[in-house]
Amino acid sequence: MTEPYLRIEKLTKVYERGQVLALDALSLDVEKREFLVVIGLSGSGKSTLLRCINRLIEPTSGRIMLGSVDLTRLSPERMRKMRRRMGMIFQHFNLIRRAPVITNVLTGRLGYMPGWKAMLGMFSKEDQDRALESLERVGLREKAYVRADELSGGQQQRVGIARALMQEPEILLADEPVSALDPATSHSIMQYLEWMNREREVTVLASLHFLSLARRYGTRIVALKDGQRVFDGPPAEIDNAKFKEIYGEDAEEVEVR
Amino acid sequence: MQGYPEGYLSERPRWTTPAGLVNLIGGPLGLVGRRLSMILLDMAAVALLWVLVTYAFLWYVHGDIGYTVIPWWLFGLFVFELAAAWNSFGVAPSQRLSGVHLVPSEGGRMTVWHRLLHFLAWHVSVLPIVGLLGRRPWHERLSGTRTKRVESGAIKPAPWYRTSVGIYAAVILVVVVVAALGVTVSMANLRRLVTDAWRAGNIWRAFFSPDTTILQTVVRDLLVTFFMAVLATAFAVVVAVPLSFLSARNLMKGPVGRSVYTALRGAMSITRSIEPIVWAIVFLVWVTARRAPFAGVLALVVHSIADLVKLYAEQLEGINPGLPEAITATGGGRLAVLRYGVLPQIINPYISFTLYRWDINIRMATVVGVVGGGGIGQRLYAYLQGHMYSQAGTAMLLIVVLVWAIDYLSSRIRAKLA
């Protein structure tokens, strides 16, 4: 019996304001190279879970073991170094809107630079070449010098992916990566994540709203409800009864094709 | 069509109708006025650079800031020539502002010959002013050039009308209420305004016959006021930027942070509620009246800091937290988050607020001068006290020109930044 790649033990998060229990002693093991999709209603704790892993949010209690390292015990500086190995993409892309695409992609290297170089924006030649490569990878090479806010939503999310690629991550945290996009674009974005998972051997943790997307791309699905795990298994196992349990009695499944 | 009043060329009504007559005269007048103001803007820019360079030079030579007095007509000549050269051989501020550059009217590339002709033609066109009439000004016709809008793949301007019935209703309501109040309050004055008009006659006559012999003194005082405002704004920015970070609610968390925030915000709002004039009087006593302009600057600095901290901090509180979060997630440290997560979201508003404050400080510097804070305000007050209305008229005229120019400049730049 070997150690799991990422082990989450009794993770709890209580938001002080309003005393909301976002994660309720959640335990979860993730294997290397899994494409884990987290589903659940808004407020079920999906975002909190992902953000606790790279400690954008500090957990209230519990442990997160990456190999033999307890992420919750790391000093801020060690955690900062650890974050370099974890790419993250966001629902609203979180790009520097007024800056050119290439600058946005280069920010993926900030974790590898001393603070003063970051402050002066002194990116190395290799990093700049790498940025263009990443953009090539997501099909946006010719948009490198266009302002980020001039791109469409799907293109902006691809810039987000290129930024994450720059980190050369082992883990990719995708927080509702397609919720702000239309169905056709959603598939294109999910395929880039799938490519990272298969070709770059990146372990992906993605939260999604649409079950159809979760079934199509996930190798495993975890459903959360009120901060607890209510389903954990391969995509095929979610039937109508399970669906009603996760999303409530009145829910109807919406297909995304 | 650049520079023409709306509809001036497309449809010219017959000049025999009243509207046609207005258009016949008003159209070209507006055109000349616009072109002339652009040229004056360039000359002001040259003059400013000139003054700055001489200041720097004298400081380097004598280790002290001083003036070199050259005859003002010579100064004017230099400024005119340099502005002409700037327009012909480079891209002058006015050209940059209106987003145009010089191209040959026949197509092809600009040559030095074109530029030289343009420079020479400038003299026969701009000096008699009539050269600015017409679809293309004389200096462009004579040199075979024209101005062309610079194409850019940059941002398209947003439509200026973004409005709704609610806004109209609110505006109308405010206008009606203010007008009603104003009329009620000033009724008694309105009658006297008409019947006692003769009293002011002498003053107005004097105002409109400016005394040009004191031009040099007045311009020097105007410069003092100008630099008081520049200096005050610069000082205030240096202090206000760090303070703004300490006064932003979203950055100051925890018990210590929150108390710093509360203390700073409180201190700033008290400081802001005390008028610059009062500060000027305090500082006049403090640094003595021998250094009146310094006292004026200090008064402006204090008030500007309080104002800017509030404006800056509100901007900081309004940033989208997603971007700093994304930079943190890449493993970026504090500085990286500041540089790429926060700075891009605040830099333009900060510049914009600073320009706005500078604009205010120009006017405030005059007001502060009235209580003895140096510069043109003090001079103006002295003239008025001594019933020297012609001289006061000269001073007021120049104040108007300066305030108008700065106001125009800062609003143009701010519009670009928005």
Mind listing the pLDDT tens digit for each residue in A224-251?
988 999 889 998 888 777 777 777 766 6
Contact A119 B338 (CB under 8 A): yes
Minimum Cα–Cα distance from B345: chain A residue = A96
- Cross-strand partners of A225: A228
- Is residue B163 over pLDDT 60? no
Q: What pLDDT is stored for residue B161 in this prediction?
A: 42
Query: Which residues, 6+ apart, have CB-to-CB distance to B7 below 8 Å?
Result: none
pLDDT above 70 covers a percentage of chain B that reads: 84
CATH code for position B369: 1.10.3720.10
Contacts of B333 in chain A (CB under 8 A): 80, 110-111, 115, 118
State how many domains chain B has.
2
- Cross-strand partners of A89: A174
Question: Which residue of B319, B330, B338 is the best one to mutate when testing the A interface, meaning the one whose CB has the most A CBs within 10 A?
Answer: B330
What does the pLDDT average to over B308-315? Answer: 94
- Chain B nearest-CA distance from A76, in A, is 10
Q: Are residues B95 and B42 in the same domain?
A: yes
Answer whether residue B188 is part of any domain: no
- What ipTM was estimated for this complex? 0.91
Q: Are residues B160 and B210 in the same domain?
A: no
Q: Are residues B293 and B412 in the same domain?
A: yes
Q: What pLDDT is stored for residue A151 in this prediction?
A: 94
Q: Are residues B159 and B229 in the same domain?
A: no
Question: Which residue of A82, A101, A110, A179 is the best one to mutate when testing the B interface, meaning the one whose CB has the most B CBs within 10 A?
Answer: A110
Query: Which residues, 6+ apart, have CB-to-CB distance to B148 below 8 Å?
Result: B100, B101, B102, B103
Contact B327 A107 (CB under 8 A): yes
Answer whether residue B79 is part of any domain: yes
Q: Are residues B79 and B226 in the same domain?
A: no
Q: Are residues B212 and B153 in the same domain?
A: no
Contact A173 B334 (CB under 8 A): no
Minimum Cα–Cα distance from A165: chain B residue = B330
For residues B250 and B321, the answer to whether their CB atoms sit within 8 Å is: yes
Answer whether residue B189 is part of any domain: no
Alpha-carbon span A4 to A66, nearest angstrom? 8
- Angle between helix axes A183-199 and A153-166 (nearest 10 degrees) is 10
Q: Are residues B149 and B218 in the same domain?
A: no
Residue B10 or residue B119, greater confidence: B119
At B39, list the tokens: 């040229």
- Is residue B162 over pLDDT 60? no
Query: Which residues, 6+ apart, have CB-to-CB distance to B167 below 8 Å?
Result: none
Contact A83 B330 (CB under 8 A): yes
Q: What pLDDT is stored for residue B134 in this prediction?
A: 76
Answer whether residue B100 is part of any domain: yes
Q: What pLDDT is stored for residue B285 in this prediction?
A: 87
Q: Are residues B155 and B211 in the same domain?
A: no
- Chain B nearest-CA distance from A118, in A, is 5
Q: Examine the fold and report which residue of B145, B164, B183 is the final residue of a domain before the chain moves on.
A: B164
How many angstroms separate the most distant Cα atoms in chain B? 77
Q: Examine the fold and report which residue of B110, B137, B164 is the final residue of a domain before the chain moves on.
A: B164
Answer whether residue B208 is part of any domain: yes
Answer whether residue B186 is part of any domain: no
Minimum Cα–Cα distance from B327: chain A residue = A107
Q: What pLDDT is stored for residue B28 in this prediction?
A: 72
- Chain A nearest-CA distance from B311, in A, is 21
Answer whether residue B1 is part of any domain: no
> Cα B81–B87–B93 angle (5° rounding)?
110
Q: Are residues B157 and B251 in the same domain?
A: no
At B313, list the tokens: 């901090």
Contact A90 B339 (CB under 8 A): no
Q: What pLDDT is stored for residue B186 in this prediction?
A: 60
Q: Are residues B153 and B210 in the same domain?
A: no
Q: Examine the fold and report which residue of B164, B196, B231 is the final residue of a domain before the chain moves on.
A: B164
Amino acid at the residue B291: R
Give tens-digit pLDDT for B218-264.
899 999 889 989 999 999 999 999 999 999 888 887 788 888 999 99
Alpha-carbon span A47 to A92, nearest angstrom? 13
- Angle between helix axes B254-273 and B215-246 (nearest 10 degrees) is 160
- Chain B nearest-CA distance from A95, in A, is 6
Q: What pLDDT is stored for residue A4 in this prediction?
A: 86
Give tens-digit pLDDT for A127-151.
999 999 999 999 999 999 999 999 9
Alpha-carbon span B303 to B236, nearest angstrom? 9
| Span of A167-171, B10-14, B18-22, B342-346 with lowest mean pLDDT | B10-14
**φ, ψ (nearest 5 deg) of residue B252:** -100, 90
For B93-140, list the strands marked E by DSSP. Answer: 100-104
Contact A115 B336 (CB under 8 A): yes
Answer whether residue B257 is part of any domain: yes
Residue B194, number of CB atoms within 10 A of its CB: 7
Contact A92 B331 (CB under 8 A): no
Neighbour-count burial of B62, counting CB atoms closer than 10 A to its CB (0-12 exposed, 13-18 middle, 19+ buried): exposed
Q: Which domain holds residue B404?
A: 204-417
Q: Which of A88, A118, A166 is nearest residue B333 as measured by Cβ atoms? A: A118
Q: Are residues B153 and B34 in the same domain?
A: yes
Q: Is this prediction's pTM over 0.90? A: no
What does the pLDDT average to over B376-392? Answer: 88
Give tens-digit pLDDT for B88-142.
888 888 887 777 888 888 877 888 888 888 998 888 888 888 788 877 888 888 8
What does the pLDDT average to over B33-38? Answer: 86
Contact A80 B331 (CB under 8 A): yes
Q: Are residues B209 and B160 in the same domain?
A: no
